[in-house]
Amino acid sequence: MPLFSMTLAAPVQAQQYNNNAAAYAPVIRGFDVEEVRRLRPGVELNFNLYGTPGGRATLSIAGANRNLNLTETEPGQYEGTYTLGGRDNITGSSAVTANLRVGNQVTSGVLSESLLRDVGRHPRDNQGRERAADVPRIERFDVQGSDDLSPGNELTFSVYGTPGAKVDMVIAGTRGVFFLPEVKPGEYSGDYTIRRADRIAPNSAVTATMRIGGRVSAAVLGKPLRVAAATPTPREVRYCTNCATVDAINVIEVNGDGNYLGTIGGGVVGAVLGSQVGKGSGRTAAQIAGAVGGAYVGRNIERRARKTQHYEVVIRFNNGGTQTVTYENDPGLRVGEKVRITDGVLSRDQ
């Protein structure tokens, strides 16, 4: 084969070619037929195939006199009708093979259902009861839903049961039967991408069918296709009783009281200065005035010398209440700053 000889000559190039080919290989996602009650000349068999868009799909039916070309009616959906002729030798169990070619790549799929209705049902014993040992078993049918069922979103379906079977699925509101490949022994899983023509509702019925030979088992999905969007869990809000905001910072100045020493000292100084003014009674008056004025000045000088200042920080709590905290020195806070008060001491709220 040319590919094999190319592999021997240029293995790196061949490996790259194989990887690219695998990446673009077509896929058949679904293949079904409208079953009929009897097979005779003139009866029409309507086939649908779902897979990679832009390809060329053909069918071959065992016992048929010719092959059938399918037409792509919308992207990825191929349809065709085969009319039975007098020279056809088609039975209900005739194998039907679909080929989908995209470029130089081809993939095939085999129809898993009968052409006739009510064929391939559960085998029964002489009393009409199903033979459980012969029936494939679906143990679980699950879906990973979406919060949006608009076109382009995906639904992931999983079926668990008898290994080695063929599993297909029908969704109400869509056209066709879709395959679920066996990803692990007994586990069948696949994604369905919602198309524009679909009419899927949150409670649309979904049926999975498992087949082994002519034995069939079915299960209906018991979950909605739409899941509610996750709602964030509300965080618990705790009320802070010692949290507050700096409402005002006031600088308070306090003058000290002058004692008798300052008053006497000032009076003596004033009297001495007054004695140097005028003569006679004028000098006496000046001494008295100087003594009184000096006493007053001396007292004020001492009061200014004893002046002190402190800071009052007014804080407002979240409930509207206020409290004043006194500092001897600048507390280094600003109006509007968030603080906490603990045992009468303010600290910045981190």
Q: Domain 23-116 is of which CATH architecture? A: Sandwich (2.60)
- Sign of the CA dihedral with 130 first, then 135, 140, and 141 last: negative
Cα of first residue to Cα of last residue in the chain, in angstroms, is 75
* pLDDT at residue 34, rounded to an integer: 86
Where do runs of H (alpha helix) occur along the chain? 2-9, 11-23, 260-275, 280-305
* pLDDT at residue 311, rounded to an integer: 87
* pLDDT at residue 220, rounded to an integer: 92
Neighbouring C-beta atoms of residue 90, cutoff 10 Å: 20
pTM more than 0.85: no
Helix then strand then coil, % of the chain, to nearest 5? 20, 40, 40
Phi/psi of residue 288, nearest 5 degrees: -65, -45
Angle between helix axes 280-305 and 260-275 (nearest 10 degrees) is 150
Give the residue from 152, 149, 139 showing the smallest Cα distance to 204.
149
* pLDDT at residue 47, rounded to an integer: 92
Q: Which DSSP string do the residues of 209-249 spell out, in sequence order? A: EEEETTEEEEEE--S-SB-PPPPPPPPPP---TTEEEEEEE
In whole angstroms, what is the distance from residue 268 CA to residue 138 CA? 119
Give the residue from 97, 50, 107, 101 showing the smallest Cα distance to 75.
50
Cα 265 from chain centroid (whole Å) = 86
Give 47's strand partners: 33, 80
Phi/psi of residue 293, nearest 5 degrees: -65, -40
- Asked if the domains at 23-116 and 136-229 fall in one CATH topology, the answer is yes
* pLDDT at residue 7, rounded to an integer: 34
Q: DSSP letter at 29?
A: E
**Average pLDDT per block of 10 residues along the chain, 350 residues long:** 35 46 72 88 92 92 94 90 93 90 90 73 49 75 90 92 89 86 91 89 91 82 82 63 88 64 51 51 54 57 67 87 87 88 83
* pLDDT at residue 29, rounded to an integer: 81
* pLDDT at residue 90, rounded to an integer: 93
| Spatial CB neighbours of 318, under 8 Å, sequence gap ≥ 6 | 239, 240, 243, 244
What's the token pair of residue 323? 């409290």
Query: Which CATH code for domain 136-229?
Result: 2.60.40.10
Neighbouring C-beta atoms of residue 182, cutoff 10 Å: 16
Domain ranges of the chain: 23-116, 136-229, 240-254+308-349
* pLDDT at residue 122, rounded to an integer: 45
